[in-house]
Amino acid sequence: MTGPLLQGTGLARAFGGVYAVDGVEVAVAPGSTLGVIGPNGAGKSTLFHLISGQLPADRGEIRLAGRRIDRLPPHARARLGIAVVFQGARVFHGMTVAENAMVGAHATTGAGFVTAALRLPRHRREEPVIAARAREAVRRVGLAEWADHPAELLPLGQQRALQLARALCSEPRLLLLDEPASGLRAAERERLAGLIEELRTEGVTIMLIDHDVGLVSRLADRVTVLELGHVIAEGSPDEVRADPRVVRAYLGTEPVRDEGAGGRDER
Ligand code: ADP
Ligand code: MG
């Protein structure tokens, strides 16, 4: 494929007449990682919701591998290979960690969630394959020893890791990560960074939102900077960090510094 895997053009979305995303252009080359940074309220999460289909766009087009997807519902986009780890933990209570991860696979397998819930024959055939995939995903995010425990007992940072396992279980082409490192301790954050690098090596295309500019710079091939719903800079991590508009948007006058392991959402 020559073009971008994901391309958004002229994307806009308003809430109560105020634009959260306003004319955003975004493109992600296949197999690359795009960092998305910007101050709180810049529209980063809203952009992800437009791409995943959680929210319809007021204007603009979204293409996956050249195909228009902006009119498709979220589950149809998931079937095309888009998986999201949302900001804030959302795990299913009353299910184990491994069962939570399996929900991701049901989003994309032939059987689907309804067939799975009704335990129809097609589901029973696929079940062992999915269970194995879920355990592997749970292991990759560092939760192997939690696999058979209720998901709601996990600390919040680990609930985010479980969401990532669920996303991996769907074997995504495009993985959207909205602040996946928040609430993680330094060692867990490092493990997550290693996993994101590994996924990129395996050819997964990634969009990564994080407050930790150092982490994003390390993992991303390109960075897009949002402020008040607009793209104010786009380029390599070095180009973007040297951009005066980015420096102003973040800190007023000082250069953008790495937050590193002592970042602001470190607990
Ligand atoms: P970021 O993720 O960059 O912090 P968001 O995309 O969450 O920013 O929010 C961008 C703006 O849109 C903010 O002003 C926020 O209050 C507003 N917003 C986001 N989601 C909603 C919503 N569901 N309803 C109303 N306003 C929203
Ligand atoms: Mg956000």
H/E stretch holding 51 reads: helix 44-52
Query: Which one, of 198, 190, 244, lies nearest residue 214 by Cα?
Result: 190
Protein residue with least CA distance to atom 25, ligand 1: 15
Q: Of ligand 1's atoms, which has the minimum distance to the CA of residue 47?
A: 6
What pTM was computed for the model? Answer: 0.89
The closest residue, in CA terms, to atom 7 on ligand 1 is 45
- Cβ contacts of 247-256, under 8 Å, gap ≥ 24: 249/38, 249/39, 249/225, 250/39, 250/213, 256/213
The residues with which 72 forms a beta bridge, in sequence order, are none
Q: What is the pLDDT along the chain (267 residues), one digit of tens a residue?
A: 679 999 999 999 999 999 999 999 999 999 999 999 999 999 999 999 999 999 999 999 999 999 999 999 999 999 999 999 998 767 999 999 999 999 878 766 555 555 556 556 666 667 788 899 999 999 999 999 999 999 999 998 899 899 999 999 999 999 999 999 888 889 889 999 999 999 999 999 999 999 989 999 999 999 999 999 999 999 999 999 999 998 888 755 555 555 544 444 433
Ligand 1 centroid to Cα of residue 15, in Å, is 8
| Residues at CB less than 6 angstroms from ligand 1 | 15, 20, 38, 40-46
**Structural domains present in the chain:** 1-81+173-256 (3.40.50.300), 91-170 (no CATH)
**Rounded to the nearest 5 degrees, what angle is found at the Cα of 162, between the Cα atoms of 108 and 218?**
100
